[in-house]
Amino acid sequence: MTQIFCIANQKGGVGKTTTTVNLAAGLAKVGQRVLLIDLDPQGNATMGSGVDKRQLKQTVYDVLLETATVEQARVRAEKCGYDVLGANRELAGAEVELVDEERREKRLKAAIAAVQSQYDFVLIDCPPSLSLLTLNGLCSAHGVIVPMQCEYFALEGLTDLVNTIKQVHANLNRELLIIGLLRVMFDPRITLQQQVSDQLKDHFGDKVFDTVIPRNVRLAEAPSYGLPGVVFDPSAKGSQAFVDFAKEMVVRVQKAEKVSVQA
Ligand code: ADP
Ligand code: MG
Protein backbone atom coordinates (compact mmCIF):
# COMPACT_ATOMS: atom_id res chain seq x y z
CA MET A 1 0.00 0.00 0.00
CA THR A 2 1.20 3.52 -0.78
CA GLN A 3 2.31 5.43 2.29
CA ILE A 4 1.41 9.11 2.28
CA PHE A 5 3.24 11.15 4.89
CA CYS A 6 3.31 14.84 5.76
CA ILE A 7 6.49 16.32 7.11
CA ALA A 8 5.11 18.97 9.43
CA ASN A 9 5.97 21.24 12.31
CA GLN A 10 4.50 24.72 12.62
CA LYS A 11 7.92 26.12 13.48
CA GLY A 12 10.09 27.41 10.65
CA GLY A 13 13.69 26.35 10.24
CA VAL A 14 13.39 23.08 12.15
CA GLY A 15 14.44 20.86 9.27
CA LYS A 16 11.18 19.94 7.51
CA THR A 17 12.45 20.53 3.99
CA THR A 18 15.82 18.94 4.70
CA THR A 19 14.01 15.89 6.04
CA THR A 20 11.62 15.71 3.08
CA VAL A 21 14.23 15.86 0.31
CA ASN A 22 16.70 13.59 2.07
CA LEU A 23 14.11 11.01 3.07
CA ALA A 24 12.84 11.05 -0.52
CA ALA A 25 16.37 10.54 -1.86
CA GLY A 26 17.12 7.89 0.77
CA LEU A 27 13.96 5.97 -0.07
CA ALA A 28 14.75 6.20 -3.79
CA LYS A 29 18.21 4.86 -3.05
CA VAL A 30 16.77 1.74 -1.41
CA GLY A 31 14.51 1.12 -4.39
CA GLN A 32 11.28 2.83 -3.38
CA ARG A 33 9.14 4.79 -5.85
CA VAL A 34 8.69 8.27 -4.39
CA LEU A 35 6.64 11.36 -5.15
CA LEU A 36 7.64 14.51 -3.27
CA ILE A 37 4.98 17.21 -3.00
CA ASP A 38 6.10 20.72 -2.11
CA LEU A 39 3.31 22.50 -0.24
CA ASP A 40 5.40 25.50 0.78
CA PRO A 41 5.20 28.64 -1.43
CA GLN A 42 8.91 29.16 -0.69
CA GLY A 43 9.55 26.21 -3.00
CA ASN A 44 12.65 25.10 -1.10
CA ALA A 45 11.97 21.38 -1.53
CA THR A 46 11.49 21.97 -5.26
CA MET A 47 14.79 23.85 -5.64
CA GLY A 48 16.52 21.44 -3.24
CA SER A 49 15.58 18.61 -5.60
CA GLY A 50 17.22 20.39 -8.54
CA VAL A 51 13.95 21.57 -10.07
CA ASP A 52 13.88 25.28 -10.95
CA LYS A 53 10.65 26.62 -9.45
CA ARG A 54 10.67 29.63 -11.80
CA GLN A 55 10.67 27.42 -14.89
CA LEU A 56 7.74 25.24 -13.85
CA LYS A 57 4.72 25.55 -16.11
CA GLN A 58 2.45 23.83 -13.64
CA THR A 59 2.78 23.28 -9.93
CA VAL A 60 0.83 22.03 -6.94
CA TYR A 61 -1.03 25.35 -7.15
CA ASP A 62 -2.65 24.27 -10.43
CA VAL A 63 -3.45 20.91 -8.90
CA LEU A 64 -5.19 22.55 -5.92
CA LEU A 65 -7.19 24.79 -8.25
CA GLU A 66 -7.98 21.74 -10.40
CA THR A 67 -6.55 23.26 -13.56
CA ALA A 68 -3.96 20.45 -13.81
CA THR A 69 -3.63 16.86 -12.66
CA VAL A 70 -0.64 15.55 -10.71
CA GLU A 71 0.31 13.56 -13.79
CA GLN A 72 0.50 16.79 -15.83
CA ALA A 73 2.26 18.93 -13.23
CA ARG A 74 4.85 16.55 -11.78
CA VAL A 75 8.43 16.49 -13.02
CA ARG A 76 11.27 14.03 -12.60
CA ALA A 77 14.17 15.02 -10.34
CA GLU A 78 16.62 13.02 -12.43
CA LYS A 79 19.66 13.10 -10.17
CA CYS A 80 17.58 12.40 -7.10
CA GLY A 81 15.58 9.43 -8.38
CA TYR A 82 12.12 10.67 -7.46
CA ASP A 83 9.25 12.72 -8.88
CA VAL A 84 8.41 16.23 -7.71
CA LEU A 85 5.13 18.09 -7.67
CA GLY A 86 6.70 21.51 -7.27
CA ALA A 87 5.71 24.82 -5.75
CA ASN A 88 6.56 28.47 -6.18
CA ARG A 89 5.27 31.82 -4.94
CA GLU A 90 2.04 31.43 -6.85
CA LEU A 91 0.99 28.88 -4.23
CA ALA A 92 0.66 31.64 -1.62
CA GLY A 93 -2.45 32.80 -3.50
CA ALA A 94 -4.15 29.42 -3.31
CA GLU A 95 -5.23 30.00 0.27
CA VAL A 96 -7.39 32.99 -0.71
CA GLU A 97 -8.57 31.54 -4.01
CA LEU A 98 -9.80 28.36 -2.37
CA VAL A 99 -11.71 30.04 0.43
CA ASP A 100 -15.11 29.80 -1.25
CA GLU A 101 -14.52 26.49 -2.97
CA GLU A 102 -16.13 23.25 -1.98
CA ARG A 103 -14.06 20.46 -0.43
CA ARG A 104 -11.25 22.95 -0.25
CA GLU A 105 -9.25 20.97 2.30
CA LYS A 106 -9.55 17.72 0.34
CA ARG A 107 -8.32 18.92 -3.06
CA LEU A 108 -4.86 17.45 -2.71
CA LYS A 109 -6.17 14.11 -1.46
CA ALA A 110 -8.37 13.70 -4.51
CA ALA A 111 -5.51 14.63 -6.83
CA ILE A 112 -3.06 12.20 -5.23
CA ALA A 113 -5.56 9.36 -5.47
CA ALA A 114 -5.22 9.37 -9.27
CA VAL A 115 -1.46 8.59 -9.20
CA GLN A 116 -1.11 6.88 -5.85
CA SER A 117 -0.66 3.38 -7.25
CA GLN A 118 2.49 4.51 -9.08
CA TYR A 119 4.33 5.15 -5.82
CA ASP A 120 5.45 3.41 -2.64
CA PHE A 121 5.78 6.71 -0.77
CA VAL A 122 4.29 10.17 -1.18
CA LEU A 123 6.08 12.76 0.99
CA ILE A 124 4.52 16.17 1.52
CA ASP A 125 6.68 19.08 2.67
CA CYS A 126 4.40 21.41 4.65
CA PRO A 127 4.79 25.15 5.24
CA PRO A 128 5.55 26.40 8.77
CA SER A 129 1.97 27.24 9.63
CA LEU A 130 -1.30 25.52 10.27
CA SER A 131 -2.85 26.98 7.12
CA LEU A 132 -5.26 25.63 4.52
CA LEU A 133 -2.20 24.34 2.67
CA THR A 134 -1.04 22.32 5.67
CA LEU A 135 -4.63 21.19 6.17
CA ASN A 136 -4.65 19.84 2.60
CA GLY A 137 -1.49 17.95 3.44
CA LEU A 138 -2.92 16.53 6.66
CA CYS A 139 -6.18 15.51 4.95
CA SER A 140 -4.21 13.60 2.30
CA ALA A 141 -1.89 11.72 4.61
CA HIS A 142 -1.83 8.50 6.56
CA GLY A 143 0.63 9.97 8.95
CA VAL A 144 2.81 12.84 10.05
CA ILE A 145 6.56 12.84 10.50
CA VAL A 146 7.62 15.61 12.86
CA PRO A 147 11.22 16.76 12.63
CA MET A 148 12.34 18.49 15.79
CA GLN A 149 15.41 19.95 17.38
CA CYS A 150 16.05 18.88 20.93
CA GLU A 151 15.76 22.33 22.43
CA TYR A 152 14.21 23.68 25.58
CA PHE A 153 10.88 24.70 24.02
CA ALA A 154 10.60 21.69 21.74
CA LEU A 155 7.97 19.89 23.80
CA GLU A 156 5.86 23.02 24.21
CA GLY A 157 5.85 23.60 20.46
CA LEU A 158 4.62 20.07 19.94
CA THR A 159 1.40 20.65 21.85
CA ASP A 160 -0.13 22.85 19.14
CA LEU A 161 0.77 20.41 16.41
CA VAL A 162 -0.53 17.43 18.34
CA ASN A 163 -3.82 19.27 18.98
CA THR A 164 -4.18 20.14 15.31
CA ILE A 165 -3.51 16.55 14.31
CA LYS A 166 -6.11 15.37 16.84
CA GLN A 167 -8.69 17.78 15.41
CA VAL A 168 -8.00 16.76 11.84
CA HIS A 169 -8.21 13.14 12.92
CA ALA A 170 -11.57 13.71 14.61
CA ASN A 171 -13.18 15.84 11.90
CA LEU A 172 -11.54 15.31 8.53
CA ASN A 173 -9.22 12.33 8.31
CA ARG A 174 -9.79 9.27 10.51
CA GLU A 175 -6.64 7.65 9.13
CA LEU A 176 -4.23 10.32 10.31
CA LEU A 177 -1.60 9.24 12.81
CA ILE A 178 1.59 10.67 14.18
CA ILE A 179 4.10 8.27 12.63
CA GLY A 180 6.94 9.62 14.63
CA LEU A 181 9.21 12.31 15.91
CA LEU A 182 12.57 12.66 14.20
CA ARG A 183 15.40 14.21 16.17
CA VAL A 184 17.31 16.47 13.77
CA MET A 185 20.34 18.79 13.90
CA PHE A 186 21.39 16.78 16.91
CA ASP A 187 24.62 17.52 18.71
CA PRO A 188 25.34 14.87 21.38
CA ARG A 189 27.98 17.10 23.00
CA ILE A 190 25.27 19.46 24.17
CA THR A 191 23.94 18.12 27.46
CA LEU A 192 20.61 19.92 27.09
CA GLN A 193 19.98 18.16 23.78
CA GLN A 194 20.63 14.78 25.42
CA GLN A 195 18.21 15.69 28.22
CA VAL A 196 15.46 16.82 25.85
CA SER A 197 16.04 13.71 23.74
CA ASP A 198 15.55 11.54 26.86
CA GLN A 199 12.39 13.49 27.76
CA LEU A 200 11.02 12.94 24.28
CA LYS A 201 11.53 9.20 24.64
CA ASP A 202 9.88 9.18 28.07
CA HIS A 203 6.86 11.06 26.72
CA PHE A 204 6.45 9.52 23.31
CA GLY A 205 8.11 6.09 23.58
CA ASP A 206 8.40 4.29 20.27
CA LYS A 207 6.88 7.28 18.46
CA VAL A 208 10.44 8.60 18.57
CA PHE A 209 12.37 7.23 15.61
CA ASP A 210 15.53 5.27 16.44
CA THR A 211 17.54 7.16 13.83
CA VAL A 212 18.95 10.51 14.92
CA ILE A 213 20.02 13.08 12.32
CA PRO A 214 23.20 14.86 13.41
CA ARG A 215 23.98 18.50 12.74
CA ASN A 216 26.09 18.25 9.63
CA VAL A 217 27.29 21.09 7.43
CA ARG A 218 27.09 18.98 4.24
CA LEU A 219 23.30 18.79 4.66
CA ALA A 220 23.17 22.59 4.84
CA GLU A 221 25.45 23.04 1.82
CA ALA A 222 23.61 20.61 -0.46
CA PRO A 223 20.57 22.84 -1.32
CA SER A 224 22.80 25.45 -2.98
CA TYR A 225 23.81 22.70 -5.43
CA GLY A 226 20.17 21.77 -6.02
CA LEU A 227 20.62 18.37 -4.41
CA PRO A 228 19.62 16.57 -1.24
CA GLY A 229 22.65 15.84 0.97
CA VAL A 230 22.09 12.12 0.36
CA VAL A 231 22.89 12.70 -3.34
CA PHE A 232 25.35 15.59 -2.97
CA ASP A 233 27.67 13.81 -0.54
CA PRO A 234 26.55 10.26 0.23
CA SER A 235 29.47 9.66 2.59
CA ALA A 236 28.65 12.58 4.92
CA LYS A 237 27.43 11.57 8.38
CA GLY A 238 24.14 13.44 7.90
CA SER A 239 23.50 11.74 4.56
CA GLN A 240 24.18 8.30 5.99
CA ALA A 241 21.77 9.06 8.83
CA PHE A 242 19.03 9.91 6.32
CA VAL A 243 19.60 6.66 4.42
CA ASP A 244 19.35 4.83 7.77
CA PHE A 245 16.14 6.73 8.42
CA ALA A 246 14.76 5.67 5.04
CA LYS A 247 15.55 2.04 5.88
CA GLU A 248 13.94 2.40 9.32
CA MET A 249 10.85 3.79 7.58
CA VAL A 250 10.63 0.87 5.16
CA VAL A 251 10.92 -1.65 8.03
CA ARG A 252 8.26 0.18 10.07
CA VAL A 253 5.87 0.18 7.15
CA GLN A 254 6.43 -3.52 6.48
CA LYS A 255 5.82 -4.35 10.15
CA ALA A 256 2.63 -2.29 10.20
CA GLU A 257 1.40 -4.03 7.05
CA LYS A 258 2.09 -7.45 8.54
CA VAL A 259 0.04 -6.55 11.61
CA SER A 260 -2.86 -5.30 9.51
CA VAL A 261 -2.84 -8.46 7.36
CA GLN A 262 -2.95 -10.64 10.48
CA ALA A 263 -5.70 -8.58 12.09
P1 ADP B 1 12.22 24.09 7.51
O2 ADP B 1 11.83 23.46 6.23
O3 ADP B 1 11.57 23.45 8.70
O4 ADP B 1 12.03 25.58 7.51
P5 ADP B 1 14.95 23.53 6.69
O6 ADP B 1 14.96 22.09 6.34
O7 ADP B 1 14.90 24.52 5.57
O8 ADP B 1 13.79 23.83 7.73
O9 ADP B 1 16.23 23.80 7.60
C10 ADP B 1 16.54 25.08 8.12
C11 ADP B 1 18.04 25.34 7.95
O12 ADP B 1 18.80 24.38 8.71
C13 ADP B 1 18.51 25.19 6.51
O14 ADP B 1 19.48 26.16 6.25
C15 ADP B 1 19.12 23.79 6.48
O16 ADP B 1 20.13 23.67 5.50
C17 ADP B 1 19.69 23.66 7.87
N18 ADP B 1 19.72 22.25 8.34
C19 ADP B 1 18.67 21.40 8.38
N20 ADP B 1 19.03 20.21 8.90
C21 ADP B 1 20.35 20.30 9.19
C22 ADP B 1 21.33 19.41 9.77
N23 ADP B 1 20.99 18.17 10.15
N24 ADP B 1 22.60 19.87 9.93
C25 ADP B 1 22.92 21.13 9.57
N26 ADP B 1 22.07 22.01 9.03
C27 ADP B 1 20.79 21.63 8.85
MG1 MG C 1 10.82 24.30 4.57
Q: Is 224 in the pocket of ligand 1 (CB under 6 A)?
A: no
Structural Rg of the chain based on CA atoms: 17
CA of 215 to the centre of ligand 1 (A): 9
Q: What pLDDT shows up at residue 263?
A: 64
d(CA 43, CA 53): 7
d(CA 44, CA 133): 15
C-alpha pair distances (Å), 198 with each of 100, 162, 176, 183, 211: 45, 19, 26, 11, 14
Atom 11 of ligand 1 has which residue's CA nearest to it? 13
Atom 4 of ligand 1 has which residue's CA nearest to it? 13
Closest of 185, 163, 169, 233 to residue 17, by C-alpha: 185
Q: What pLDDT shows up at residue 109?
A: 97
Cβ pair 222, 48 in contact under 8 A: yes
Eight-state DSSP code of residue 215: P
Closest of 152, 216, 209, 221 to residue 185, by C-alpha: 216
CA of 18 to the centre of ligand 1 (A): 5
Q: Tell me, what amino acid is at 253?
A: V
Quick: pLDDT tens for 101-152: 888 999 999 999 999 999 999 999 999 988 899 999 999 999 999 999 999 8
C-alpha pair distances (Å), 189 with each of 138, 193, 195, 230: 35, 8, 11, 24
Query: The dihedral of CA 192, 195, 197, 200: what is its sign?
Result: negative
Residue 13 CA: which ligand is closest?
A: 1
Q: Which of 18, 21, 124, 144 to mutate to test the pocket of ligand 1 (most atoms within 8 A of CB)?
A: 18
Give me the residues of the chain with pLDDT under 70, please.
263
CA of 15 to the centre of ligand 1 (A): 4
Closest of 226, 228, 145, 210 to residue 179, by C-alpha: 145
